[in-house]
Amino acid sequence: MIAIIDYGAGNLRSVANAVALLGYEAAVTSDPADVLAAKAVILPGVGAAADTVSSLASRGLDKALREIIARDTPLFAVCVGLQVLYEETEEGGGCQCLGLLPGKVKKLPPGLKVPHMGWNNVRQTRNHPLFEGIPDDSYFYFVHSYYAEPAGRSAVIGETDYGLTITSAIASGNMVATQFHPEKSGEAGLKMYDNFLKTALRGSI
C-alpha cells in the first residue's frame, strides 16, 4: 500500500491525483496503523510548520513517521513536509520539529519577495534515482517563505538559487524530500513521483 498522510492540511487532492495518474493505488489516511503498514509513504506539505508538527503529534503520526524511518520504509516529504523533518524552525517565533535530520529552518531573508512562489530551476548536486530521466536544471513549482539549512551537505541532492542558495531536494537513506511541489510541476514532477514509487515498491530508493 502507498499511504498519503492526511494531518488536516496538506495538498492532498493534487498529490493523490498525481499518484493515480501514474497508475498507482494509494490511500489518503490519518491512521498511524496505515502508515506503519505501507510500503511507501508520502507526506504532503501546505501550511505552517508548527501547525503541521502539532497536527501530526495529535494523531500519533509523528511516532509513526519516526518508526518508518527507523525501518527504512521509503518516505517522500514535500515542502513543509521537508521542513518538519529538521530539528527546529524559526516559523511562528520558533518551534521544535521532528528532528529526523540535523539542521534548522530559517525565514527567507529581507529584500526577497516572500513567499518564493512560482517556477524555479533545480540544480542536481549529485546523481540520485529521484532524478532519473529528469534533466539537470529542470523547473519545478515552489511556494514557501522558509527554507531548510542542513547541518551538513551529505543529504543534499538538489539546490535552487533565490537570492541565496536554497536546499531544494534531499535524500537520506530511504527518505527523500523536496522544497518544491512535484504535484504542481508538470511532467518533471510526475516523473519524480514515478521514480520514487517504482523504486520504493521494490523496497529501496
CA angle, 163 then 169 then 175, to 5°: 155
Catalytic site includes residue 95: no
Task: Tell me if residue 181 is catalytic.
Answer: yes
Q: Which helix (H) or strand (E) holds 32?
A: helix 32-37
CA distance 202 to 109: 41
Order of strands, edge to edge, in the sheet holding 103-107?
A: 95-96, 88-89, 103-107, 146-150
Q: Which residue is catalytic, options 91, 97, 116, 183?
A: 183
Instruction: Specify whether 144 is catalytic.
Output: no
DSSP letter for each residue of 98-152: --SSSEEEEEPPTTS-SSEEEEEEEEESS--GGGTT--TTEEEEEEESEEEEESS
Taking the alpha carbons at both ends of the chain, their separation in whole angstroms is 16
What three-state secondary structure class fits 49?
A: helix
Q: How far apart are CA 172 and CA 68, in angstroms?
A: 13
Task: Give the three cell numbers for residue 9.
Answer: 492540511
Among the listed residues 132, 159, 181, 187, the single catalytic one is: 181
Out of 79, 91, 95, 97, the active site residue is 79
Q: Tell me which residues are annotated as active site.
A: 79, 181, 183
